[in-house]
Structure 1
Amino acid sequence: MTKSSKAKRAVIACGIFEVEVERLLKGHDYISVTYLEQGLHVKPEKIAPHIQEIVDEAAKWADEIVLGYGLCSNGVAGVVAPAQGLIVPKAHDCIPLFLGSLEKYKESSTAHPGTYYLNSGWIKGELDPLGTLEKYKERLDPEIAEWGIQEEMKHYTRIAYIDGNNGKSAKEIERAKENAEFLGKEFQIIEGSGDYLEKLLFGPYDSEEFFHIAPGETITQDIYLAQPD
């Protein structure tokens, strides 16, 4: 094993990755993962303070600290790296991590720029458009709620379900289809990959796919915007 793989590693990740991460993590007890509630994305300004608290605690014992987050609507902006520094994926959101690489995400986005992505985690967490619609209906007239969700989704042309479970997510796939039908969008199932998540957990942390935030430096939106297309 390399020196890095033997190091005590703290991973702080969005709860949406829990199923995939736990599947990969078996037998690797040098890695400790803390999951944050995926519902925090509704109020992204709350993400950084939660992450910072866990980072500061992990800094007391970990040799390496890795974030399992994209920029996420600037949710991680403001997090300050501890003495160990921070390793952070160069992703604007979690989609590249489910697809397997930044390159696969770029290819998909170029071929289908109007894509709205779903997977089992978003659907189980009721973070899909239909789940959001139900939340709107709790406080709005149904017609207004439906108009609102249609407005939010009007610029998308395709709903793509990222299948990272080898076709075993029939219930979630059906729900994704229902989203597409309700919104009048094209529907497609695309194959997911655990490659990027595997790198997140075990390395190598190459500079093409990960930021290395130096001790005392702050994560900013600018470092993401400076990345080449």
Structure 2
Amino acid sequence: MNTLMIACRTIADELNMAMEETACRYPILWIESGLHLYPDSLKKRLQEELDHISNVDQVLMAFGYCGNSLLGITPPTYKMIFPRVDDCITLLLGSCEKRKAISDEMGTYFLTHGWLQYEKNIWSEYQEAIHRYGKSRADKIYKVLLQHYKRLGVIETGAYPIEEFLEKTHVIAEDLKLCHQVIPGTLQYIKKLLTGPWDEDFITIQPSETVTFAHIYGDNWNAQKNASVYGMTAEEKTV
């Protein structure tokens, strides 16, 4: 089966290692990571790339929903498979349940090597705020912006040397007034995307099928939609 991957450069280190360890040799079409800050632009770019792809049976998307940027895109003549995750952070942690457990324990701003290397990120924006407003005012701004976060969670995936990266993240945590913690990541979800099985952890879109809310949010979306017809909440509908 001819397979192509479309992937965000944010997870380039992890995807390259996962492909090496699984002996997968799929060609990869890389998408610049900064686009995920602009979901409409990312959606437009992805659809343009999908429209230009030919002679493949399936496309594997190394992406999360990323602000519903996958909503409304259509693979013209081949299957498209993507993880059932909101963004790449969940993909690198291994599951939605693990991310929720970590966040429930303490408000956590997650950070990875790719986040700092490939995109406009919280650290570069903080430095820009200092340049524009001075450190005192920038600190006040970020105190408000990060009021729900207590921890900087640095995800260690083993895909790159960690020591130099941690030197930088300790400085970031100190300046942003967050406690610093290294959180173990995993390549297992990415490896499963590469090799299958593409079970309930993934969404499969058939040729000429368009991604909808129902694909992404499943029964929860259908319950909310049906309940709204009768003027009830989803919770009331399920009683």
Interval of TM-score (by shorter of Structure 1 and Structure 2): 0.7 to 0.9
Q: Using structure 2 for the length normalisation, give the TM-score.
A: 0.81
- Number of residue equivalences: 217
Q: Which amino acid aligns with 1:28?
A: C
Partner of 1:54: 49
Query: Which runs of structure 2 are paired with 1:209-224 in the superposition (5 Å)?
Result: 209-221=201-213, 223-224=215-216
Q: Deviations over 1:139-196 (max 9, x none)?
A: x323554433332212111110001127831122222222221222222101111001
- Alignment partner of 1:78 is 2:72: yes
CA distance in 1, matches of 2:57, 2:160: 38
Q: Deviations over 1:81-129 (max 9, x none)?
A: 32323111110111121112333323323333x1110011112235442
Q: Report if aligned partners of 2:13, 2:159 keep a CA contact under 8 Å in 1.
A: no
Consecutive unaligned residues in structure 1, runs of 5 or more: 1-6
Any idea what SS the aligned residue of 1:184 has? coil
Partner of 1:165: 158
| Alignment equivalent of 2:17, drawn from 16, 23, 40 | 23
RMSD: 2.3
- Alignment partner of 1:69 is 2:63: yes
How much has 1:57 moved relative to structure 2?
2.1
Structure with max Cα Rg: 2
Any idea what SS the aligned residue of 2:5 has? strand
| Alignment equivalent of 1:177, drawn from 165, 170, 189 | 170
Q: Report if aligned partners of 1:71, 1:221 keep a CA contact under 8 Å in 2.
A: no
How much has 1:216 moved relative to structure 2?
2.6
Partner of 1:125: 118
**Further displaced range: 124-133 or 152-161:** 124-133
Partner of 2:179: 186
Partner of 1:34: 29
Q: Which amino acid aligns with 2:114?
A: G
Q: Deviations over 1:45-73 (max 9, x none)?
A: 21011111222222x11111111111112
Q: Report if aligned partners of 1:80, 1:218 keep a CA contact under 8 Å in 2.
A: yes
CA distance in 2, matches of 1:214, 1:8: 15
CA distance in 1, matches of 2:56, 2:37: 30
Partner of 1:87: 81
Q: Report if aligned partners of 2:203, 2:216 keep a CA contact under 8 Å in 1.
A: no
Q: Report if aligned partners of 1:82, 1:216 keep a CA contact under 8 Å in 2.
A: yes
Q: Report if aligned partners of 1:92, 1:224 keep a CA contact under 8 Å in 2.
A: no
Q: Structure 2 vs 1, CA of residues 76 and 146 (structure 1 numbering), >3 Å: closer, same or farther? A: farther
How much has 1:206 moved relative to structure 2?
0.9
Q: Which amino acid aligns with 1:89?
A: P
Q: Using structure 1 for the length normalisation, give the TM-score.
A: 0.84
Q: Structure 2 vs 1, CA of residues 103 and 53 (structure 1 numbering), >3 Å: closer, same or farther? A: same
